[in-house]
Amino acid sequence: MPAKRNGWPPRWLSSTTPAERRRGDGPQAVDFVNGLCKITKDSVAGKVGDPIVLRPWQSSLFDGLLARRSDGRYRHGEALIGMPRKNGKSALGSGLALYGMLFGPEGGEVYSCAAEKDQAKIVFGTAKRMVELEPELAEHITPYRDVMEVKATGTIYRALSAEAYSKEGLNPTLVLFDEVHAQPNRELWDVMALAMGARVEPLLVGITTAGVMSDSTGHDSLCYELYKHGQDVAQGLVDDPSFFFAWWEPRAGVLANHTDPKVWRESNPGYADIVAAEDFSTKLLRTPENEFRTKRTNVFTQDVVAWLPFGAWPKCARPGPVPDLAEVVLGFDGSFNNDSTALVVVSCDDNPHVDVVAAWENPGDDAWRVPIFDVEDEIRRACKRWQVREIVCDPFRWARTYQTLEAEGLPVVEFPQSPARMVPATQRFYEAVLNGGLTQSGDPDLARHVGNVIVKTDARGARLDKPKGGGRKIDLAIAAVMAFDRAATPTAGALEPLMAYR
């Protein structure tokens, strides 16, 4: 990617050809915004009523987004645009909405969508204020309380929130999703995308900052899923010419030093222009790290309140399994139905390597139960593959399995998840991650479980916990902490076998 100048290009950008951009509506949309749209709030960019002056990077963004194919149709049907706060997202979205009202098809339907109605009304309200400030817009667009209308064409513009069940029957031509990261799931996005199917050239545009990687189910959030797809498209790994992706973030990504002014400049196309440079150093002192990373440098974080410093876990990655026949400890954390069951392996050497043997997670079926016999067979196979020093586990609920495996001569030992055990084990694992005292295979499920962990701290110390509600799993992380603690302990300190179950 060429060197970034004056905010362009972003870190990630899907490709369009010069011919597609020349045929597109970018220049016309830019002229419309510059000529008719006004600033609605006093800011670094200007005073209320001053004309908006789109920067070159904003013009380039419109050129790519509104590019047209050789048959004259829009190149893109869906788009994700990501930039930090204070870089003019609302003004861009509002200007695009008004352009879609006036230059879109007759009988058009334009919608602003967000997780909550108040958020959806931000772009709508900015557009409405632009109409009120410009007589030429007011001549063609009639604003009401919750809708605007172009009476000559029957085109309307409304704000909608995330109650997707109430959106059936719509026929959108242009949809603007504000702060996609806040969507609780992908239902509203999918409803609006499917509703556009009857239109000739509809456009669904998400404009957002980054957020957390996981949604309330513990799986990839809608925004992070779209972000990863956009990366694949931008890198040519996926052929999806209908998807436009432009995303500003530091070149170092999640490993970037969020306190570095160079990172602020890389992440913010309007840095020291429409967003004041001194605002960053001021907010840095009062903003939690993960909040600053998502909202000011536009990188995704693993949770709102993370256990590990962001980027620490990926930095330990050394892809590959634990070698066969190596001396290892297996960590096992079992459940029955609603949670997950985890089996992790950690090598017993100077720099322990952590990997996943297997994991069983409830797919969302109330009748689902952990396949106990499959779990037991997986443990047996692991004991044939490696030299297993210990199989460490919490005895809760899995007494029969432990009795069975121990009767077969397997080295099952007890590791109760009590504060006395977990507090020092948690601290030991944390220090190893930060100081390079372990490596990990890069397994995505393990990364997800580690990323879901928060820390419960009380008078007895800090230990692993998971966010309340939402079903986020942390069992692989717990199994890894237990196994690492034992793998890093000399054999002379081995735990007692589970004699209580004989």
188-209 pLDDT tens trace: 999 999 999 889 999 999 999 9
pLDDT for 169: 80
| 3 has pLDDT over 70 | no
Dump pLDDT digits (tens) for 51-109: 999 999 999 999 999 999 999 999 999 999 999 999 999 899 999 999 999 999 999 99
Residue 371 in tokens:
């396949």
pLDDT for 351: 94
Q: How confident is the model at residue 18 (pLDDT cuts 50, 70, 90)?
A: very high
pLDDT for 163: 65
| 502 has pLDDT over 80 | no
Q: How confident is the model at residue 451 (pLDDT cuts 50, 70, 90)?
A: confident
Question: Concatenated DSSP letters for 376-438?
Answer: HHHHHHHHHHSEEEEEEE--TT-HHHHHHHHHTT--EEE---SHHHHHHHHHHHHHHHHHT--
Dump pLDDT digits (tens) for 159-187: 998 765 566 789 999 999 999 998 988 88
Q: How confident is the model at residue 494 (pLDDT cuts 50, 70, 90)?
A: very low
pLDDT for 44: 76
| 471 has pLDDT over 80 | no
- Which of these, 98, 96, 97, 111, lies nearest to 160 by C-alpha position? 111
What ranges make up the beta strands (E) of 48-146? 78-82, 109-113, 142-143
φ, ψ of residue 5 in degrees (nearest 5): -130, 130
pLDDT for 368: 86
Q: How confident is the model at residue 470 (pLDDT cuts 50, 70, 90)?
A: low
Strand order in the sheet with 155-160: 12-13, 243-247, 78-82, 203-208, 174-178, 109-113, 155-160, 147-150, 142-143
12-296, superfamily in CATH?
P-loop containing nucleotide triphosphate hydrolases (3.40.50.300)
| 469 has pLDDT over 60 | no
- Average per-residue pLDDT in the chain? 89
Dump pLDDT digits (tens) for 118-127: 888 899 999 9
φ, ψ of residue 409 in degrees (nearest 5): 95, 10
Q: Which residues, 6 or more positions from 166, have their beta carbon under 8 angstroms from its beta carbon?
A: none
pLDDT for 394: 83
Q: State the Cα–Cα distance between residues 190 and 263, nearest whole angstrom.
A: 34
Contact (CB, 8 A) for 75 and 67: yes
pLDDT for 2: 42
Q: State the Cα–Cα distance between residues 431 and 308, nearest whole angstrom.
A: 10
pLDDT for 204: 98
Q: State the Cα–Cα distance between residues 321 and 325, nearest whole angstrom.
A: 12
Dump pLDDT digits (tens) for 131-163: 999 999 999 999 998 999 999 999 999 999 876
Least confident piece of the model among 268-277, 304-313, 349-358, 470-479: 304-313
The H helix count followed by the E strand count for the chain is: 17, 17
Top-confidence residue, 42 or 331: 331
Residue 437 in tokens:
């005292």
> Among 1.20.120.80, 3.30.420.240, 3.40.640.10, 1.10.10.10, what is the CATH number of 312-501?
3.30.420.240
Domain positions in the chain: 12-296, 312-501
Q: Angle at Cα 116 formed by Cα 111 and Cα 118, nearest 5°?
A: 80
Q: How confident is the model at residue 26 (pLDDT cuts 50, 70, 90)?
A: very high
Q: How confident is the model at residue 278 (pLDDT cuts 50, 70, 90)?
A: very high
Q: Which residues, 6 or more positions from 451, have their beta carbon under 8 angstroms from its beta carbon?
A: 213, 214, 302, 303, 306, 313
Instruction: Work out the average pLDDT over 241-255.
Output: 94
Contact (CB, 8 A) for 108 and 153: yes
Residue type present at position 301:
T
Contact (CB, 8 A) for 133 and 140: no
pLDDT for 54: 96
Q: Which residues, 6 or more positions from 194, have their beta carbon under 8 angstroms from its beta carbon?
A: none
pLDDT for 35: 97
Strands 327-333 and 387-393: parallel
pLDDT for 464: 82
pLDDT for 175: 97
What residues are paired with 387 via a beta bridge?
A: 327
Q: State the Cα–Cα distance between residues 50 and 62, nearest whole angstrom.
A: 21
Dump pLDDT digits (tens) for 361-372: 887 777 888 899
- The CA-atom distances, in angstroms, between 265 and each of 53, 131, 262, 289, 301 are 20, 33, 5, 18, 20
